[in-house]
Amino acid sequence: MRRVLWLLMLLAVGAHAAANIWIRAGEAYGIEPRLLYAISKVESNLRPLVISVNYKKLTKAQEDKLCFMLENRNISYNIYSKVIEIDSKNIVEAKGVIDFLDNNRYPSFDIGLMQINNMHKETLAGMKIPLHELLNESTNLSVAANILWECYKKHRSSDKAINAYNGSSVGNSYYTKVSAELRKLLLLHENGSKRLFYRII
C-alpha cells in the first residue's frame, strides 16, 4: 500500500514528472503510467533484480546445472510450477546469473522489473542494449513500454495487447490480473484516467 501511495504522490507532482520513470516511459510510448506500474506489480512485484527461468522449457540436465550454480553461489531461488524465480542480492550477482543463462543457451528467461524475455535479445542488440542492461529500471521499463505499444498497434484493443505482452492475446487471464492491480491505483486517484493507450499513430 505504501508503494502505491508513493507512486500516486509522484504522479500528482507535475514539477517532478521528468524524474519519474513511470511517467517518462508512459509519455514516450503513449501508455497510461499506472498501467506500466500495474504490469510491473504483476510481473516482478516491483523487484528490478528478479530473474525468472521458464521451468517447463528446461531439460532435467539444465535444471540441475542451474540449481547447482545457484546453490554454489548462495543465490536465493524458488521453484514454482512454471518458473524458477531467482532473487539476486545485488546487481553483480544478477549479472552473473544472466551471463550463465545466456552463455549456456537457456531457452527462455525473463529479466527485471517488467520481466523482459530473452527472446528479444537480437532486437535489443540492434539497439545496443545487452541483456544485463535490463537490470536497470529505466531501461527495462522503456523496453517494456515499447513492446507493449507494439502489441497495441497489432491488436488495437487494451485487453488483447496486455495479454499479448504476456505471450498470448487469447486464452490468457493475464489482463484480469493486471486490471485488478490497475483498479487499485485508479480507485485511489479520483481523477484517474481509464484511457490506457492514448498515442495517435
Query: Is the pLDDT score of 191 beyond 80?
Result: no
Question: pLDDT tens across 127-183, in order?
Answer: 999 999 999 999 999 999 999 999 999 998 899 999 999 988 777 889 999 999 998
Domains, in order of start, for the chain: 2-45+137-188 (no CATH), 50-111 (3.30.70)
For residue 82, the 8-state DSSP code is S
Query: Is the pLDDT score of 190 beyond 80?
Result: no
For residue 201, the tally of other CB atoms under 10 A from its CB is 7
Question: pLDDT tens across 82-140, in order?
Answer: 999 999 999 999 999 999 999 999 999 999 999 999 999 999 999 999 999 999 999 99
Secondary structure class of 33 (helix, strand, coil):
helix
Give the pLDDT of residue 193.
Answer: 58
Q: Are 33 and 149 in contact (CB under 8 A)?
A: no
Strand partners, 84: 53, 79
Beta strands in the chain (DSSP E): 50-54, 76-79, 83-87, 109-111, 116-117
Q: What pTM was estimated for this model as a whole?
A: 0.84
For residue 117, the tally of other CB atoms under 10 A from its CB is 15
